[in-house]
């Protein structure tokens, strides 16, 4: 059970890159076979169906997300530092556009929002869990006194989510060269605004 798993890995890895650029629906056995110098059928046998391949790619992406974002982020000190760590890693993940487009997940969120199936279900589950995790972290930050009392944790998470999504559009579609910096600034602003301190007149920070 070693050889098969290895090539399966190679396949998924390659497919992940395609999906990052063209979307999960851009994955086809034909081009994948050509890129990997394999036969379509040999490729097919590993997944049983196209949907199986898409699902495998999605699950792999989720695993990577956990490894790169969730787990390292959780190691930070509980409360606001942990939330900040999680969110900034999220942003960094989203930013990773080189080669294997790192943002397969949020792209799929738009691609599959109206297309029933296992892929969508899996995507919904993972997204829900991730956002819920962030909401918990936010709640802890509030209870720890790092954040102002009265903050709606779920609204906070939606706001962070919005920053992520807007960043992606700015960077990839609109070609804003400073999208990274601006998104980070927006995220910082969100944190600053949430802190439990006196309400002095705020000054803007962006250039």
Partner DNA sequence: TAATATTACGAACGTTCGTGCGTTACGCAA
Partner DNA sequence: TTGCGTAACGCACGAACGTTCGTAATATTA
Q: Give the residues lining the site for DNA (CB under 7 A).
A: 1-5, 7, 27-31, 37-46, 48-51
Query: CB of 118: closest distance to a copy of itself in angstroms?
Result: 15
Residue 44 interacting partner from a copy of itself, DNA, none (CB closer than 5 to 8 Å by kind): DNA
Torsion of CA 48, 52, 53, 55, to 10 degrees: -170
CA 34, 37, 39, 40 torsion: positive or negative? negative
Query: Which of 38/194 has CB closer to a copy of itself?
Result: 194
Binding mask 149-188 for a copy of itself (x = CB under 8 A): -xxx-xx--xx-xxxxxx-xxx-xxxx------x--xx--
Query: Which of 22/154 has CB closer to DNA?
Result: 22
172: Cβ contacts below 8 Å, ≥ 6 apart: 97, 103
In the chain, how many H helices and how many E strands?
A: 10, 0
Residue of 16, 43, 61, 106 that binds a copy of itself (CB under 8 A) = 106
Query: Which of 70/123 has CB closer to a copy of itself?
Result: 123
Query: CB of 142: closest distance to a copy of itself in angstroms?
Result: 11
Question: Measured between alpha carbons, how far is 155 from 72 in angstroms, rounded to an integer?
Answer: 24
Q: At what angle do helices 50-65 and 104-111 cross, to 10 degrees?
A: 130
Residue 1 interacting partner from a copy of itself, DNA, none (CB closer than 5 to 8 Å by kind): DNA
CB under 8 Å, gap of 24 or more: what pairs does 177-181 form?
180/95
Residue 116 interacting partner from DNA, a copy of itself, none (CB closer than 5 to 8 Å by kind): none
CB under 8 Å, gap of 24 or more: what pairs does 162-167 form?
163/91, 163/187, 163/190, 164/90, 164/91, 164/94, 164/106, 165/106, 167/91, 167/94, 167/95
Residue 51 interacting partner from DNA, a copy of itself, none (CB closer than 5 to 8 Å by kind): DNA
Question: Measured between alpha carbons, how far is 112 from 103 in angstroms, rounded to an integer?
Answer: 14
Give contact residues for a copy of itself (rule: CB under 8 A). Answer: 21-23, 25, 101, 106-107, 109-115, 120, 123-124, 127-128, 131, 150-152, 154-155, 158-159, 161-166, 168-170, 172-175, 182, 185-186, 189, 193, 199-204, 206
């Amino acid at each position: 059970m070693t050889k098969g798993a290895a090539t399966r890995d190679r396949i998924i890895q390659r497919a992940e890159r395609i999906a990052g650029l063209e979307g999960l629906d851009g994955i086809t056995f034909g081009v994948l076979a050509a890129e990997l110098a394999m036969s379509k059928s040999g490729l097919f046998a590993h997944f049983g169906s196209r949907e199986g391949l898409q699902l495998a790619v999605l699950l792999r992406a989720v695993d990577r997300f956990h490894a790169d974002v969730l787990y390292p982020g959780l190691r930070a000190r509980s409360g606001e530092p942990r939330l900040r760590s999680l969110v900034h890693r999220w942003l960094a993940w989203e930013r990773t556009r080189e080669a294997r487009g790192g943002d397969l997940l949020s792209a799929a969120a738009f691609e599959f929002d109206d297309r029933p199936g296992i892929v969508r279900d899996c995507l919904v589950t993972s997204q829900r869990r991730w956002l819920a995790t962030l909401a918990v972290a936010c709640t802890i930050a509030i209870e720890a006194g790092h954040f102002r009392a009265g903050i709606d944790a779920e609204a906070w998470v939606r706001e962070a989510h919005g920053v992520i999504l807007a960043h992606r559009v700015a960077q990839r579609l609109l070609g804003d060269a400073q999208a990274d910096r601006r998104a980070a600034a927006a995220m910082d602003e969100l944190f600053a605004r949430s802190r439990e301190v006196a309400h002095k007149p705020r000054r803007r920070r962006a250039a």
